[in-house]
């Protein structure tokens, strides 16, 4: 990294050196930390503005001419930048670790459709953070696996069938014990009337945080549901929800 003003001595800051200025567990550099460590005379007003952007975006930039240039949003060339680097390298985990994380998410989907209380209780930590405000309009809160089962039973048990299909899962690790998943969900909800199935589909994605302590299985410590598109056939959702609230649950529950 090069920061300088015309006529001044150049000051070189490598990515490695900048990385020592903050806690490696953090996802972005602290702007205040960088300013405190760097000589004030080396930072022009333009560089100061760039540091604010870089601290949020997690990017480092170096100009081909060894001069600072403010990055452009929404472009890849960044006004002639020769390279971009993340402030904190992503933690690399083997394929087995990623697969274990994904299987925990699959287990959640199957347990929801079966309304399997035992499996749901094994999927989450003792208490976890649930945010389904975008879906049901209820505040986010910390709940237990048992409470989550009761919530799922009331909201899904009134349908004759549900099917949560997962696609395009992205898995990242912030530490060997902490994983994060973003995955698309196509959630079918069916009501059978006179031998015919009326269906409604919720298109959402899950943002899931997981932990694994002492080599144990991965467990979900937080889940957020966000809508991808408005829900269709709201009348079907209404029937299923009313049945669930009234305790008119499908067989086997």
- How far apart are alpha carbons 171 and 169 in whole angstroms? 6
- Give the DSSP per-residue string, 182-218: EEEEEEEEEEEETTEEEEEEEEEEEEEEEE--TT---
Q: Specify the pLDDT at position 230.
A: 86
N-terminal to C-terminal alpha carbon distance within the chain: 61
pLDDT on residue 36: 55
Q: How many residues does the structure list for the chain?
A: 253
Q: Work out the number of other CB atoms within 10 angstroms of the CB of residue 140.
A: 13
pLDDT at 35: 52
pLDDT for the residue numbered 28? 40
| Structural contact between residues 189 and 159, judged by C-beta atoms closer than 8 angstroms | yes
Whether residue 108 contacts residue 220, with contact meaning beta carbons closer than 8 Å, is answered with yes
pLDDT at 37: 52
pLDDT, residue 114, reads 95
Fold of 95-245: Nuclear Transport Factor 2; Chain: A, (3.10.450)
pLDDT per residue, tens digit, the chain (253 aa), is 333 333 444 444 444 444 444 333 333 444 454 455 554 444 444 445 555 555 555 454 444 555 544 554 444 433 333 333 333 345 667 788 999 999 999 999 999 999 999 999 889 999 999 999 988 888 999 999 999 999 999 999 999 999 999 999 999 999 999 999 999 999 999 999 888 999 999 999 999 999 998 778 999 999 999 999 888 899 999 999 999 999 999 876 6
Residues 187, 201 contacting (CB under 8 angstroms): yes
The reply to whether the predicted model has a pTM over 0.75 is no
Could you give the residue range(s) of every CATH 3.10.450.50 domain in the chain? 95-245
**Which pLDDT belongs to residue 136?**
84
pLDDT of residue 213: 83
> What is the pLDDT at residue 218?
96
């Amino acid at each position: 990294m090069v920061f300088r003003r015309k006529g001044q001595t150049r000051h070189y800051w490598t990515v490695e050196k900048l990385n020592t200025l903050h806690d490696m567990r953090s996802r972005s550099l602290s702007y205040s930390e960088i300013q405190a460590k760097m000589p004030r005379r080396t930072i022009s007003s333009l560089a100061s503005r760039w540091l604010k952007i870089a601290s949020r975006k997690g990017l480092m930039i170096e100009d081909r001419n060894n001069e600072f240039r403010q990055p452009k949003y929404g472009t890849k060339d960044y006004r002639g930048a020769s390279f971009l680097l993340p402030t904190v390298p992503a933690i690399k985990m083997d394929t087995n670790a990623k697969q274990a994380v994904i299987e925990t998410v699959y287990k959640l989907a199957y347990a929801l459709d079966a309304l399997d209380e035992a499996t749901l209780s094994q999927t989450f930590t003792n208490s976890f953070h649930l945010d389904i405000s975008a879906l049901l309009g209820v505040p986010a809160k910390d709940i237990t696996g048992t409470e989550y089962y009761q919530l799922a039973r009331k909201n899904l048990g009134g349908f004759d069938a549900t099917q949560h299909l997962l696609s395009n899962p992205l898995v990242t690790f912030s530490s060997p014990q902490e994983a994060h998943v973003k995955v698309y969900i196509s959630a079918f909800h069916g009501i059978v009337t006179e031998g015919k199935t009326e269906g409604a589909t919720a298109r959402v994605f899950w943002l899931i945080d997981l932990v694994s302590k002492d080599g144990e299985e991965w467990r979900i410590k937080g889940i957020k549901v966000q809508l991808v598109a408005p829900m269709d056939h709201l009348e079907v959702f209404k029937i299923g929800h009313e049945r669930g609230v009234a305790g008119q649950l499908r067989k086997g529950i």
